[in-house]
Amino acid sequence: MIEFINAAADIVLLALLLASAVMILRSASPLSVVVISTIYSLTICMLFVVMDAVDVAFTEAAVGAGISGVLMLSVIKRVDEPVSRNAANENAWPSPLALLCAAGLGIMLIAGTLDMPLYGDPGAPVHQHLVSRYLFESKIEIGIPNTVTSVLASYRGYDTLGEVVVIFTAGTAVLILLAGVTQASPVSPRPGFMAAPVIRRVLLRIVPLVLLFALYVQFHGDYGPGGGFQAGVIFAAGVITWGLLSRTGTMQSIISERWTLFAMGAGVLLYGLTGIAGMFAGGQFLNYSVLAKSPTAGQHAGILMIEFGVGVTVAFTMISLFMSFNREEP
């Protein structure tokens, strides 16, 4: 019975995923594409939960269904002439060559999956090599209950450093593109929307709870699902919600844009310095075991530091992007 329900849930969610992908292809306005891709993210988030990948589901819910929607809507608002697909081309068939290429690629990809082990197969090569060490030894070597965090922050700390640098670089690139660009019509809601007291009052009471929850996710990442990436996005979501509720310019007058840029870099710097501290204490780059008297205590301290760095960089990248999209005309 349970297997049947699980299979049914998988099929329904995958069908929903496919349907939203087709709807994205077919929809004419960028606005509906943004809305449908939010639904897509939420569906894929539920699929991750079905696969027991709660940490990933958490990230997907916060990034895909939360912040990226807001950022994309800000972009659409900024573009003066909304790009609409040509109505004449809407129902036209794609060119036969394109159709052939797509079909050929699809057939090759499906043929490729035939060689792959079954989903969840314990004999699959990926579960034979390092996974058993992560699952059985990490509680002794690293000493924290959440294996995902020990893999992400300690065993593969170097990869994660790369990810943070990627986020920092991407954020910097967008900010350089938007440098000095101001906006005549602010993204903030229309005056009529602002006047709705219910929305304002309720959300202004929710925002502190969101920020508190972000801190919980940040510092509880060793014990439960969560960590720097999720916490950073949730924190930014709280701040952005507040920014949407207040008049444009209010955010800029309270949070200095210079300081958000500084914080973006400071997070990456904290991560790198934690790695270098390991070198000075007599270990290798990003080896936290040497940071304290006992190896597990060192791992705890190191993971806490780098997760904090990740959280700061992620949160302030998002906040800087939102602020630069909403810069008021001087």
**Binding residue for other proteins, selected from 51, 196, 204, 212, defined by CB under 8 A:** 196
Name the segment binding other proteins (CB under 8 A); options: 155-163, 192-200, 268-276, 322-330.
192-200
> Is 193 an interacting residue with respect to other proteins (CB under 8 A)?
yes
State in angstroms the smallest separation of the CB of 36 from other proteins: 16
> DSSP string covering 110-179, please?
HHHHHTSPPTT-TTSGGGTTTHHHHHHHHHHHT--S-HHHHIIIIITHHHHHHHHHHHHHHHHHHHHHTT
Q: What is the spatial distance between Cα 321 and Cα 330, in angstroms, rounded to a whole number?
A: 19
State in angstroms the smallest separation of the CB of 198 from other proteins: 6
Q: Name the one residue in this structure whose structure tokens are 């030894």.
A: 137
Q: What is the spatial distance between Cα 22 and Cα 203, in angstroms, rounded to a whole number?
A: 34
How many secondary structure helices (H) and strands (E) does the chain include?
14, 0
Closest to other proteins by CB, 196 vs 276, is 196
> Is 190 an interacting residue with respect to other proteins (CB under 8 A)?
yes
> Is 202 an interacting residue with respect to other proteins (CB under 8 A)?
yes
> Is 76 an interacting residue with respect to other proteins (CB under 8 A)?
no
Determine contact, residues 317/168, Cβ cutoff 8 Å. Answer: yes
The crossing angle, in degrees rounded to 10, of helices 228-245 and 68-78 is 40
Q: What is the CA radius of gyration of the chain?
A: 23
Q: Name the one residue in this structure whose structure tokens are 């800087």.
A: 320
State in angstroms the smallest separation of the CB of 229 from other proteins: 22
> Is 192 an interacting residue with respect to other proteins (CB under 8 A)?
yes
State in angstroms the smallest separation of the CB of 16 from other proteins: 14
The structure tokens listed for 95 are 């060119």
Closest to other proteins by CB, 54 vs 199, is 199
**Binding residue for other proteins, selected from 17, 206, 266, 269, defined by CB under 8 A:** 206
> DSSP string covering 179-214, please?
TT--BSS-SSPPHHHHT-HHHHHHHHHHHHHHHHHH
State in angstroms the smallest separation of the CB of 31 from other proteins: 11
Name the segment binding other proteins (CB under 8 A); options: 15-23, 159-167, 194-202, 302-310.
194-202
By CB under 8 A, the count of residues binding other proteins is: 9
Closest to other proteins by CB, 123 vs 191, is 191
**Binding residue for other proteins, selected from 125, 179, 198, 282, defined by CB under 8 A:** 198
> DSSP string covering 223-255, please?
TSS--HHHHHHHHHHHHHHHHHHSPTTHHHHHS
State in angstroms the smallest separation of the CB of 192 from other proteins: 6
Closest to other proteins by CB, 33 vs 203, is 203
Identify which of 55, 69, 77 has the alpha carbon closest to the alpha carbon of residue 240. 69
Name the segment binding other proteins (CB under 8 A); options: 155-163, 200-208, 228-236, 260-268.
200-208
Site residues for other proteins per CB under 8 A: 190, 192-193, 196, 198-199, 202-203, 206
